[in-house]
Homo-oligomer: A and B are copies of this chain.
Amino acid sequence: MTTEPAASRTATPASPQNHALSENHASLIVQGEDRTGIVAAVSAVLSGHGANIVSLDQYSDDPQGGAFYQRTVFSLANLKAVLPTIERDLETELAEGFDLGFTLRDMSVPKRVAVFASREDHCLLDLLWRHRRGQLPVTISMVVSNHTDTADEVRAFGVPFVHVPTGEMGKAAAEAEHLRLLRGNVDFVVLARYMRILSGDFIASLGVPIINIHHSFLPAFIGAAPYAKAKERGVKLVGATAHYVTEDLDEGPIIEQDVVRVTHADTVVDIRRRGADVERTVLSRAVRWHSEDRVIRTDNSTIVFA
């Protein structure tokens, strides 16, 4: 109930244009060994092409010869036409001049993602709903599940749902099917409470980043049934962790974490309910940041320019 009765007639609150980045914007990630003059070299190339720097974040883990990370978003009227030239110039300046790696991406082309789920729907639905609301600048190419419980719901969002019954097929056949579906079709994968372990071979063969949501504050309660363990240990907060998947279970680089307070009076069911709220929030942040090139992966951690 508010004082603005007229507003509801004209406003379009669920417009898909919530994320500002789009037409004629590009992101540039630079990383490598820190040296004097990198920021100047990058910005000289960009301003040489008339690009306007919209945002710039920079981090050096040690000013004396540590690692250098920079995220730059810039806009340019005829971006698509000029991007190849900018890339070539950056190649010359950064890769040859400074021995730095870089990634340049046209932000008007959303990343394509497949979401994996099992029976729990809270993380999956939250992603679908945020996407529809215009809060996730991605294309959700498909939802893959080892169960059919969420099929109708997913299709109601206009997203393809594919059932891959890993239990019946066996793990090897299921992973082969997953590869067939995903390869060439997606830029990253999100495990939205997918209750199956991916093999190291699958992760290597797939070749795109995989983001998982783990229902504990890692590294506490690694492995199965973390909420039950949390109850048993008598902790006063439970949490969730979004991380990149590596071969080592629950050990990959952490993207985001958050926690919520619980008390002695909360049963495991209560804790699971509170935890589910944190899981969907944390996962949606991680997916959003990854979609906007805000996360740089290092050996065992991440740089997040949120």
Contact = CB atoms under 8 A, between A and B. Distances in A.
Interface of A: 1-5, 7-9, 11-14, 18, 20, 34-41, 43-44, 46-48, 50-61, 63, 75, 118-122, 125, 129, 133, 135, 146-147, 149, 156, 166-167, 191, 194-198, 212, 214-215, 217-221, 223-225, 232-237, 239, 245, 249, 253-259, 263-265, 267, 269, 272-273, 277, 281, 298, 300-304
Given A14-B119, A39-B56, A198-B1, A254 B225 contact: no
A59 B119 contact: no
A50 B197 CA distance: 50
Contact of A13 (B4, B120, B135, B156): B120
B3 A224 contact: yes
Contact of A43 (B40, B147, B167, B304): B40
Given A191-B1, A245-B1, A254-B233, A11 B212 contact: no
Contacts of A221: 219
Contacts of A223: 2-3
B8 A249 contact: no
A125 B121 contact: no
